[in-house]
Amino acid sequence: MNNAEIQYEIVTEEAALLALKDEWDDLWRRANGSHYQSFDFCWIAWQQVAKPKKRYLRCVVRRDSGRLALVWPLVMHIRFLWTCLCPLCPEAADYSGLLLDAGVPATEWIEGAWRTAMQRCGADFMHLPYLHEGTDLYRIASSAAPLIIQTGNISHVARLREESLHNDWASFCNSLDSTLERKPGSIARRIAKKGQLEWRLIDPSDTEAIGSSIDLMLKWKRDWSERVGKHGVWLDSVHYRNFLVEWISSQSLSSRAYLLVITLDGAPLTSLVFCEANGCVNTVIGSFNQAFRNLSPGMLGFEYVVKWAFDRQLDVDFGPGTERYKEFWSRGNVTNVWTLRTVASWWGRIGMQAQRLPFEIMADAMRGSVVPRMQNLIRRRALDKY
C-alpha cells in the first residue's frame, strides 16, 4: 500500500457512518451534490434497504487537510460463492457516483478511491448502475478489465432553469414538439370532463397517508408491469416501500422528497414521487390506476412536476429510460449512462468464467466435442491467474 492509499479510509460500522453526517452535509453543499449523494438519502437507504438485506457497509472516504473531501458510499453483498460491491442506494433505478470536493485533484483522487474499493473492500465484483458517461469514474471503471456487463442507456434532463428565464409557462408549452406528446393541459381538460380533478402534495407528517399512497402506487406499478411484461425486483420489495415512506416523511433539507397524488372525484388516479436538491428536480417513481390508462393519467403527474420546477427555475432530471414523455419535456436533451460490472479479484475471475462456461459447452456440443473441451476448460480456469 503506498502513501496515497493510506489517506483513504473504509467506513464499515454504522456508528462511524452516522458520525460523518455534519461533515458529509458540508461537503455535499460545497460540491453541489445530487440527491443520491446526500447523507440523508444514503442513511435512509442503509437503514431501510441495505441493513435489513444484510449488506456490509463499505464507504470509502478521504480528507484534505483534515476536512472531509471525498465520500463514496458502497455496500457489499454475498451472492452464491462471490461478493459484490455496489452503491449504497435503494436498489431501484438509481445513478452511481461519488461525492468530491471542488479544488482537489479529481482524477488522482478518484483513481485512488477506485483502487481502494477494488483492492481493500474484499469484493470479487464491482457493480455500478447508471454511471454518467462523462465522469472520471466512468472512464476509470469502463477501462477496467475484464468487464462482465456494459449496458448503455440514456437519461433526459429538461433545462428549465434556462427556459424559465426567457419564457413564461404558456410560451414554453407552445414551443414543445406536439408530435411526441399531447400539448400540456389537454389531458387534464379531457379527464376533468369526467369529474372533479384535484392535485395535492401529501403532508410529510402524515405517515399513514404516505404509506397507503405508496402501497397503492406500487400496486398500480405491478399491475402495469404485468401488462407490459416489464418487472423490477424492487416492485415487490418491502424494503424499497419502506425507504420511500421514510424518505418522504423525513423532510430532509438536503434531498427533500415529495409525494404527489392526483384524484378524480376524490379517488386516487395517479401518483408520483419526486425530489429536489441543489437546483434540480428528479422524478423517482410514479404510476396510475390502470382502469383509466386510455386517458393517459400518468402524464398528469409529470406535467405537474415540470410546472412546479419551471415556476421555481429548477431543472428536471427524468432518470434513465427512453420514454417519449421524457424526450418531449427535455427537448431531446440526453446524456449517456452505463451500467458496468467488473472483476475485482482472482476468485471473481473464476466466477466470470463459470458464468460463461455453459455457453461455451453448448457451442462445443454443436460441434461434437463436449467432453474433451469441458476437461480443458475446467483445467484452464483452475490454473488461470488473475
Domain of 281, CATH number, reads 3.40.630.30
Q: Is 150 part of a structural domain of the chain? A: no
Determine the pLDDT at residue 368: 55
Determine the pLDDT at residue 376: 55
Average pLDDT in the chain: 90
**Spatial contact of 283 and 274, defined as CB atoms under 8 Å apart:** yes
- pTM of the model as a whole: 0.89
Helices then strands, each counted (H, E), the chain: 15, 13
**What are 155's three cell numbers?**
437519461
Percent of the chain with pLDDT over 90: 76
Q: Is 340 part of a structural domain of the chain? A: no
Q: Does the pLDDT of residue 383 top 90, yes or no?
A: no
Closest by CA to 297, choosing from 174, 179, 186, 209, is 186
**Spatial contact of 58 and 42, defined as CB atoms under 8 Å apart:** no
Distance CA 217, CA 235 (A): 10
- Give the contacts of 123 (CB within 8 A, at least 6 positions apart): 58, 76, 83, 84, 85, 117, 344, 345, 348
Question: How sure is the predictor about 358, in pLDDT bands with cuts at 50, 70 and 90?
Answer: low
378 in the same domain as 316: no
Determine the pLDDT at residue 270: 96
Reported as a single tens digit per residue, the pLDDT across 98-136 is 999 998 999 999 999 999 999 999 999 999 999 999 999
Give whole-number Cα distances, 232 to 39, 79, 114, 237, 335, in Å: 26, 18, 28, 9, 23
Strand (E) or helix (H) holding 32: none
The C-alpha angle with vertex 82 and arms to 126 and 238, in degrees rounded to 5, equals 80
Q: Is 151 part of a structural domain of the chain? A: no
**What are 158's three cell numbers?**
429538461
Between 75 and 224, whose confidence is greater? 75
Q: Is 149 part of a structural domain of the chain? A: no
361 in the same domain as 213: no
Q: Is 165 part of a structural domain of the chain? A: yes
Determine the pLDDT at residue 145: 73
Q: Is 295 part of a structural domain of the chain? A: yes
Distance CA 169, CA 153 (A): 30
Mean local confidence (pLDDT), 356-361: 56
Q: Does the pLDDT of residue 297 top 80, yes or no?
A: yes
- Give the contacts of 265 (CB within 8 A, at least 6 positions apart): 195, 196
Q: Does the pLDDT of residue 377 top 80, yes or no?
A: no
Phi-psi region at 54: left, alpha or beta (left = phi > 0; alpha = psi -120 to 50):
left
Reported as a single tens digit per residue, the pLDDT across 316-331 is 999 999 999 999 999 9
Question: How sure is the predictor about 378, in pLDDT bands with cuts at 50, 70 and 90?
Answer: very low
Q: Which domain holds residue 138?
A: 3-144
Reported as a single tens digit per residue, the pLDDT across 226-266 is 888 877 788 889 999 999 999 999 988 889 999 999 999 99
210 in the same domain as 66: no
314 in the same domain as 230: yes
Q: Does the pLDDT of residue 366 top 60, yes or no?
A: no
Q: Is 245 part of a structural domain of the chain? A: yes
Reported as a single tens digit per residue, the pLDDT across 130-172 is 999 999 999 999 998 788 889 999 999 999 999 999 999 999 9
Distance CA 17, CA 9 (A): 12
355 in the same domain as 315: no
Determine the pLDDT at residue 179: 79
Determine the pLDDT at residue 320: 95
SS3 324: helix
308 in the same domain as 361: no
Residue 296 buriedness (CB in 10 A; 0-12 / 13-18 / 19+)? middle
Q: Is 91 part of a structural domain of the chain? A: yes
- Give the contacts of 143 (CB within 8 A, at least 6 positions apart): none
318 in the same domain as 369: no
225 in the same domain as 357: no
**What are 284's three cell numbers?**
423517482
371 in the same domain as 234: no
Cα-flanking dihedrals φ and ψ of residue 146, to 5°?
-90, 150
Q: What is the dihedral of CA 315, 318, 321, 324, to 10 degrees?
A: -90
264 in the same domain as 206: yes
Of 132-141, 176-185, 189-198, which gets the smallest average pLDDT?
176-185
Mark which of 335, 355, 370 sits at the end of a domain. Answer: 335
Distance CA 144, CA 189 (A): 53
Question: How sure is the predictor about 356, in pLDDT bands with cuts at 50, 70 and 90?
Answer: low
Mark which of 97, 114, 144 sits at the end of a domain. Answer: 144
Distance CA 285, CA 314 (A): 19
Report the domain count for the chain. Answer: 3
272 in the same domain as 166: yes
Determine the pLDDT at residue 144: 84
Reported as a single tens digit per residue, the pLDDT across 209-223 is 999 999 999 999 999
Residue 229 buriedness (CB in 10 A; 0-12 / 13-18 / 19+)? exposed
Question: How sure is the predictor about 208, in pLDDT bands with cuts at 50, 70 and 90?
Answer: very high
SS3 81: coil
Between 179 and 252, whose confidence is greater? 252
117 in the same domain as 46: yes
Mark which of 144, 175, 197 sits at the end of a domain. Answer: 144
Determine the pLDDT at residue 364: 53
